[in-house]
Amino acid sequence: MANIKEFSALLQNGEKTAVNLAEEALSKIESHKSLNAFISILSERALQKAHEADERKKAGKSLGALDGIPIAIKDNLCLEGSRTTAASKILENFVAPYTATAVEKLEAQGAVIVGKTNMDEFAMGSSSESSFFGPVENPLDKTRVPGGSSGGSAVAVASGCVPISLGSDTGGSIRQPAACTGVVGLKPTYGRVSRYGLLAYASSLDQIGPIASNVEDCATILSIICGQDSHDNTTSARPSENFGAKLQESIKGKVIGIPKEYFGEGLDKNCKAVMEKHLKTLEAEGAILREISLPNVSYAVSSYYIIATAEASSNLSRFDGVRYTHRSKEARNLFDLYAMSRSEGFGKEVQRRILLGSYVLSSGFYDAYYVQAQKVRRLITDDFTKAFEVCDVIASPTMPGLPLHRGVNESDPMAMYLSDIYTVSLNLAGLPGISLPCGTVKNFPIGMQWIGKPFQETNLLSVAAASERVSHCIENL
């Protein structure tokens, strides 16, 4: 896996041109085609953009560290003039009329988008198997899923096709595939990055973030894509900052909160042992480990799936067979036009979630499920606020064990939902989180999730970088 610094050095010393880098990325995508990490490959566009980067360099007008660097973006992010499918049949031929703000900001820095990555349909899943375009393969083990929903974005980085990709995270969809494939994935604080141009799943939980091979690249990308946007009124007015400013800072004196609820029942014992060793290594470096409690997190998965499906059932109502691409040829009246177009266009998982969302919002169940879930959301958020009074960051597993085997989702969807048990709370509370490998079990990288205070990504990434520096110390269990 390469990183921005290495690519940037190759461009700076003239060893490679941006066109070379784009061609190499495109050729790797082609040679790794069986991984099915990409839905669209943008060869012509990428080579043109790379050529423009080379021309800027010749003219002494390079735009910065990202100029000429190939990247990939998840296929639920709009790119003007390019197909944007969200891995759904219903949007199979949808061509975006505008570009997402986060993507626009990367392109403004000269980043070269080489392709759009495969994912769970409408980001609904944790295995990247529900795509209309077929499942994404995990390059580390073909029998196991690559995580999801940003599985294609994680695999694109893990397989070395690109140094960076963008994903979206509603309940763990950046962090969880990063953990499954041995890369680094960052979900920023809710409101840090504009969601304009992101095909909505659950608007109060969705957030765009980077997947990369190291913490530094995640910091670089976040510094570029963050900021207030008049197209998304949930974006924070806080100014952009250099999130990599404290990456070299020592972890000495930092208090790491360890939630007892996250290291107990349900966590694979080998994964637990690896993480505990990792935390001990950080303690030896001067970090202070402190047990904390998040008493309501056991309700997080239920609260999350109620809120997420409720919002999804509303958000996805726009796909009606009238405005966006797919329309049933069988429909003879307006109701059938809606219902048949949607049932032909949406996959099974998406339909299940829409139905569940309609159920929890329907008269008679609204208070018992939806309002109750919103109340639990507040309790969970309050738990974190209280915990952060006595610690700087919180350490947790990203996943309960190794990635699930392929096919589990269809036979036992609850198993897949429960694999999000450590990640969904951050979305409910709007907190930033990053997953990075901290050791291996059976040669499989194990993701450690670091949780930060709201809008404290600089401090979060400082701890993550310290964790990254000692991650090689752990032996394989």
Partner 1 sequence: MLEREDILKLAKLSRLKIADADMESISGHLGKMLQHMDALRALDLSQVEPMTGVEEGITVLREDIPQPSFTHEQAFANAPSVENGHFVIPKVIGG
Among positions 184-203, residues that touch partner 1 (CB under 8 A) are 190-191
Q: Tell me the per-residue interface mask from 220 to 259 with partner 1, x by CB under 8 A, - otherwise.
A: ----------x--xx-xx----------------------
Closer to partner 1 at the Cβ: 319 or 444?
319
Whether the Cβ atoms of residue 209 and residue 452 lie closer than 8 Å to each other: no
Q: Which residues of 213-230 are buried (b: 16+ CB within 10 A; e: fewer)?
A: bbbbbbbbbbbbbbbbbe
Distance CA 178, CA 146 (A): 8
Closest separation in Å from C-beta 292 to partner 1: 20
- Single residue of 1, 288, 331, 477 touching partner 1 by CB under 8 A: 331
For every residue of 415-468, DSSP letters joined together read HHHHTTTTTHHHHHHT--EEEEEEEEETTEEEEEEEE--TT-HHHHHHHHHHHH
- Residue 332 makes contact with partner 1 by CB under 8 A: yes
Closer to partner 1 at the Cβ: 236 or 462?
236
Closest CA to 124 of 286, 280, 259, 312: 312
Closest separation in Å from C-beta 337 to partner 1: 6
**Which H or E run contains 357?**
helix 348-361
- Single residue of 154, 164, 274, 354 touching partner 1 by CB under 8 A: 354
Closest separation in Å from C-beta 420 to partner 1: 13
Closest CA to 132 of 93, 106, 171: 93
Closest CA to 228 of 460, 455, 459, 456: 455
Whether the Cβ atoms of residue 451 and residue 393 lie closer than 8 Å to each other: yes
- Single residue of 94, 132, 263, 444 touching partner 1 by CB under 8 A: 94
Residues taking part in catalysis: 74, 149, 173
Instruction: Write phi, then psi, for 40 (nearest 5 degrees).
Output: -130, 135
- Single residue of 57, 342, 406, 453 touching partner 1 by CB under 8 A: 342
Torsion of CA 438, 265, 431, 245, to 10 degrees: -20
Closest separation in Å from C-beta 323 to partner 1: 6
Closer to partner 1 at the Cβ: 3 or 374?
374
- Single residue of 327, 403, 460, 471 touching partner 1 by CB under 8 A: 327
Closer to partner 1 at the Cβ: 41 or 340?
340
- Residue 128 makes contact with partner 1 by CB under 8 A: no
Closest separation in Å from C-beta 135 to partner 1: 19
Distance CA 385, CA 388 (A): 5
- Single residue of 72, 376, 402, 424 touching partner 1 by CB under 8 A: 376
- Residue 386 makes contact with partner 1 by CB under 8 A: no
- Single residue of 14, 97, 253, 364 touching partner 1 by CB under 8 A: 97
Amino acid letter for position 228: Q
Closest separation in Å from C-beta 256 to partner 1: 23
Closest separation in Å from C-beta 1 to partner 1: 33
| HSE value, Cβ hemisphere, 13 Å, CA-based, for 464 | 34
Distance CA 70, CA 113 (A): 6
Q: What is the DSSP letter of 198?
A: B
Q: Which residue pairs, CB below 8 angstroms and at least 24 apart, start in 55-61?
A: 56/110, 57/11, 57/18
Distance CA 73, CA 422 (A): 25
- Single residue of 413, 469, 473, 477 touching partner 1 by CB under 8 A: 413
Q: Are strands 112-117 and 164-169 parallel, antiparallel or unpaired?
A: unpaired
- Single residue of 379, 470, 473, 477 touching partner 1 by CB under 8 A: 379
Distance CA 278, CA 473 (A): 8
Site for partner 1 in 418-457 (CB under 8 A): 429-430, 454
Stretch that binds partner 1, among 40-48, 54-62, 120-128, 338-346 (CB under 8 A): 338-346
Residue positions counted in the chain: 477
Closer to partner 1 at the Cβ: 374 or 456?
374
Q: What contacts 203, CB < 8 A, 6 or more positions away? A: 195, 234, 311, 315
- Single residue of 33, 142, 348, 405 touching partner 1 by CB under 8 A: 348
Stretch that binds partner 1, among 53-61, 118-126, 333-341, 468-476 (CB under 8 A): 333-341
Query: 9 exposed, middle or buried (CB, 10 Å; 0-12, 13-18, 19+)?
Result: exposed
Closest separation in Å from C-beta 203 to partner 1: 8
Stretch that binds partner 1, among 6-14, 124-132, 160-168, 369-377 (CB under 8 A): 369-377
Site for partner 1 in 263-322 (CB under 8 A): 299, 301-303, 305-306, 313, 317, 320-322
Size of the site for partner 1 (CB under 8 A): 71
**Which H or E run contains 20?**
helix 18-31
